[in-house]
Structure 1
Amino acid sequence: SRRRRRISHERLRDGLVALNEGRNVEAHRTLQRAAQYSSLRSPALLSAAEAAHRHGDTTRALETLDEAAQHAPEAARILRARILRENGRAEEALQLLSPAAEAGKLPPAGWHEYALAALATGQPDKARAALEPLRKSDMLGAAAYADLVTRVLGSALRDAPDATTLQDLWKRATRQQRQMPALLDAWARRAAALGNAHAALDAIEDAVKRDWNPSLVATYGEIAPPEEAAQRLHTATRWQETHPGEDALFRALGMLSMRASDPRDAREYLVHALAIKPTAAGWAALGDVQSASGEPEDATRCYANAWKCAQGEEIAPGPQEAGIDTAHLTLEERDEHGMPRLPGEQPTAR
């Protein structure tokens, strides 16, 4: 009847408002009642299942989806997969979506959920199958899609079992993807671990020439093997001309100096990095230098400071840190044009 239809529409409206306001118990109850009208059954039941899930009632959510599947099977399957994944049952979610994925018949939300479930189960190769359909659908928008690509390809690169597989993955990535710092970092670290540090270091050098990136600079210092340390140290030293106040650069210089058998310079660079910005990585690197230099007690203190920094504390270097007088360390700042800024000088207003 007309009256019944009007009441069901009002219940659907009130239930969706309650759902978006976080009144999940009320939303579930109201939406279940709205589902009594046949033309509203699919959206009402799907939203009721979402309300139960948000309330933490997984059993009720899945029971509601059993009913919703009779009217909107594809949407109910996708929502069921998400609820399973978010409840730590990603393997079940992946199995639920796999037949349609293998047939290439998932809608955009299904591909997204398939990718997330594959990642959650450590299967980035399966997640990669979802990237092209998601790109074509533009479901996620540019920023979210780029984040997903980074997660999927980054996981695949980190898990590459051998150099051949790694290189094949890298070649198949687009030029834009190979220029993403997070993906380049994942490839470089894995390449170095598989014995191709030379190519990884060259790629990082090219990348930071185009666009300076502290994370890549830190990786540069971490993956250089001893036989290349002196050459790479020479290159990294030149970067100080345009990035004199970069803690990641000083940390990289310290690690490269240590591998080039110059512990004195290594200590000075690392203490300088810590004076700029105390980090767990900086303290751990200084601990490694002190340990290799026969200073076990100081190394232990540095490692303890690294742990404290990792827990959120900020542990600055002392006035005679690792035998280095920190009073002479001046922290030069430069503006966006690379020109030195006087102490206390404020950035120029635009």
Structure 2
Amino acid sequence: MRLWRWILIWMLAAALAAFAWHLLAADPGRVVVTIRGWRVATTVPAAVVLLVLVLLLLNGVWRLLRWPFGVFSRRQQRKSQQRLGAGLIALAEGRHGDAERELQRAARLPALQGPAMLTAADAAIRRGEPGRAHDALDQAGQRAPLAARVVRAKLLRSEARPGEALALLSSEADSRRLPPGGWHELVLAALEAGDPQRALDALEPLQKSGAMNSRAYAALEARVVQALLRQMKDNDSLAAVWSHLPKTLRRIPLAVDAYVRRASELGAGLAALDELESALRRDWSPLLLDTYGVLAVDPELRLKHAQSWLAAHPDDPVLLLALGRIAVVLGRWELARGYLARSLALGSSAAAWEALGDALLGLARTEDAQNCYRNALASSRGGQLWPVQDVVDAAADDQGTAVAEQRGPHGLPLVP
């Protein structure tokens, strides 16, 4: 593309030159210069060429005169660039003191002051000297004010001063001038300062910036929605906030879990149960299944619905755990024992051991219940488990099955 551009330029120049020559060939004009008795006469084209040559000569003389003075500035620029590189290497190697010294020296060159002092502030933060970091950011702010503001907000958050970090970024956020890192810091500062609504408002520009990958952004988004829902003080405000959230946010399992738990705490158990069951029909999530097992709403109805899901998910340990927990709440100890032993045979977890201990305690099997409670503690710590006969028998039944039964979404058996 550049070659065609130059060809076009040269063609235009040639056309202009030909046109000018055609005009001047008939009458080249006459230029007469008289000074102190000297008289010079020439044509207009020759005068123009002579003027250009004189200007080029004067430019060459000026560059020649400046060259000795430029040697020092070029040397200073080269040394500053070397010090900036040495400082970055020292920072990567963990030599934070050396990095800070080299970067302070590199900042003597005005063009490098911004990046050098920003990196020096990072070195001071890693060295555990926030005071020096603030001083470095004061200098960096003269050349790179937005970047210095973002780094300072991060430093204030690390000092447990999220309110100051939020105030520092708010003015730029209101004018929509924050860079992507600033929006990210604003979200985190707002969360830590207890203002999830401000964090939610900052998510849209952060997403548009494309600074975070989809997985990291989804995790941050879920965290913001969780904080917002948990902050609601009454059921009306909770329902209003939930209904006004975009559909994409209301389908995040973490958000659904936060809404369901908070609604249950505020006395809207049936609405929470409906939302949870709808979410499970849409997305079979272990997190939501776990919540279903501990939700304090109509255990008989929950047991009936959860049992209907067994046809499609017969070997889901989280579903079996949820069934066991609901059966324990209902005092149906033997039913709970069967579900929980099966869940543990498919995958050990501290919650399942604890629930099985409750079921065995209800069956007056105190010693086995104590072993289950020990296993709950050991499982959470990665320790050695005590043998419990119910789980051993369930595991043996599983091993005796040649092929585990698999069913489709409609509960129909699948051919292996």
- Is contact 1:278-1:315 (8 Å) kept? no
Aligned residue among 83, 100, 108 for 2:155: 83
- Using the alignment, how far apart are the partners of 1:245 and 1:135 within structure 2? 38
Q: Which aligned pairs between 1:59-74 and structure 2 lie closer than 5 A?
A: 59-74=131-146
Using structure 2 for the length normalisation, give the TM-score.
0.73
Per the alignment, do residues 307 and 50 of structure 1 end up closer, same or farther by CA in structure 2, a change over 3 Å counting? same
Alignment match, 1:330: 398
Residue 381 (structure 2) pairs with residue 311 (structure 1): yes
| Aligned partner of 1:257 among 327, 350, 353 | 327
For 2:380, the aligned partner's letter is A
**Structure 1 match to 2:217:** 145
Higher relative contact order (CA 8 A, sep 6+): 1
Bigger mean CA deviation after superposition, 27-36 or 290-299: 290-299
How far residue 109 of structure 1 moved from its aligned partner, in angstroms, is 1.6
Question: How far apart, in 2, do the equivalents of 1:250 and 1:21 lie?
Answer: 50
Which residue among 242, 248, 255 is the counterpart of 2:318?
A: 248
- Residue 127 of structure 1 corresponds to 199
Counterpart of 2:150, as a letter, is: I
Give the structure 1 partner of residue 75 of structure 2. Answer: 3
Q: Shift in Å at residue 337 of structure 1?
A: 6.7
Query: Structure 1 residues 307 and 162, CA, compared in 2 at 3 Å: closer, same or farther?
Result: farther
Partner of 1:48 in structure 2? 120
Between the aligned partners of 2:226 and 2:384, the Cα distance in structure 1 is 30
Residue by residue over 1:286-331, the C-alpha shift from the partner in whole angstroms, topping out at 9 and shown as x without a partner, is 334445566666555433432332223363651146xx95466427
In the other structure, the counterpart of 1:17 is: 89
Aligned to 1:346: none
Q: Which runs of 5+ in 1 are unaligned?
A: 343-350
- For 1:172-183, list aligned pairs within 5 A: 172-183=244-255
Where does 1:266-281 land on structure 2 (aligned, <5 Å)? 266-281=336-351
Instruction: Tell me the amino acid that sits aligned with residue 258 of structure 1.
Output: V
Aligned match for 1:27, one of 96, 99, 111 = 99
Q: Which amino acid aligns with 1:244?
A: P
Aligned length in residues: 338
TM-score by length of structure 1 reads: 0.85
- The 1:186–1:319 alpha-carbon spacing in structure 2 relative to 1, beyond 3 Å, is same
Q: Which amino acid aligns with 1:168?
A: A
Structure 2, unpaired ranges of 5+: 1-72
Alpha carbons 1:251, 1:282 under 8 Å: kept = yes
Indicate the larger mover: 119-128 or 188-197.
119-128
Residues 42-65 of structure 1: CA deviation (Å, up to 9, x unaligned): 111111111221222222212211
> Residue 161 of structure 1: CA displacement?
1.5
2:285 equivalent in structure 1: 213
Report sequence identity in percent. Answer: 43
Residues 341 and 248 (structure 1), Cα distance of their counterparts in 2 relative to 1, 3 Å cut = farther
- Deviation by residue 1:126-176 (Cα, 9 ceiling, x = unmatched): 322211221222222322221111111111112321111211221122111
Alignment-mate amino acid for residue 187 of structure 2: A
Tell whether the 8 Å contact from 2:125 to 2:155 is kept in structure 1 after alignment.
yes
